[in-house]
Structure formats: structure tokens, C-alpha cells
Amino acid sequence: MRYMFGSKEAYKIFRIDKLIGPIINQVQVVLGDPKSLELLELLKKARTQGTPTTQDQINSRQNAERILGPDENLFRIDWLPDCKTMTAQLLGKDASSFDDSEVSTMRWQAYINSYVSVRPSSIPGQSD
């Protein structure tokens, strides 16, 4: 490896086993777990639909809750191809809405910006 890639780049190849090992273990877990296989089938079915509607998302969530049971956490993972970013969101047990992850990100960013702003915030009931 050092001969092919040089002494400064060869370590990347030597460390690839540390990356491939956990991936293989995770695939084995998914293929060995009946619930994971059912969820994988749901995902494949959802991918054939194209652009999902809100009702499709609600149905997918209900099916996932049925498969996993009431005590398991659900996560929503979105891929944003424009900025090549993946977002993960823990879905609350009682939350029934499906907010767009970009909208949620913008809301949080606005909140953080207002929190760290040096301008004094307005106090309700007082005029400037």
C-alpha cells in the first residue's frame, strides 16, 4: 500500500477494514431481524411511489409503528440532494405532522440567530 499510494496516503487503505467491518455487521443485523426486513420492504414499496404525499407519509409511519410496536422510537431521515446533506429527526410519539426538514432547519436557525443577537429583544406590552 505504501508503494502504491505513498507513505502519506496509504493509511487510508489500511483503515478501510475499520469502516467495512461495522457496515457488514449492520447488514447482518438487518437481514437477521424480521422487523428490519419488514421495514426494508416498506421502504422499497415507498421508493416505487415516486414523490410521496402527506397521506403516504402518514401511512408509512403507521405501518412502521405497527411493525416496531408502541415502545420503539421512530426516526425520519431525509436526504437533501441540493446541498448533499442528510438530516435525522426523532419523531415524537404524539406528533402527527410531517414537517419538511428544511423548514425545521430554517426555524431552528432563526431561533438560534435571535438568541445570539446583540439587539435587545422586544418585551410584549412595551413600545420602542
Q: Which residues contact 80 (CB under 8 A, 6 or more apart)?
A: 86, 87, 101, 102
10-64 tens-digit pLDDT: 877 778 878 899 999 999 998 999 999 999 898 888 888 878 788 888 888 889 9
Pairing between strand 85-91 and 74-80?
Answer: antiparallel
77-113 tens-digit pLDDT: 878 889 888 888 888 776 555 555 556 667 777 888 8
Query: In the block, which residue shows the cell 416498506?
Result: 42
Predicted model pTM: 0.54
Q: How many domains does the chain have?
A: 1
Is the per-residue pLDDT at 120 higher than 80?
A: no
Q: What Cα–Cα distance (Å) separates residue 80 from each residue in 77, 87, 126?
A: 10, 8, 42
| Greater pLDDT, 66 or 5 | 66
Residue 111: which domain range? 73-120
Has residue 63 been placed in a domain? no
Has residue 92 been placed in a domain? yes
Has residue 11 been placed in a domain? no
Give the dihedral sign, CA 40/42/46/48: positive
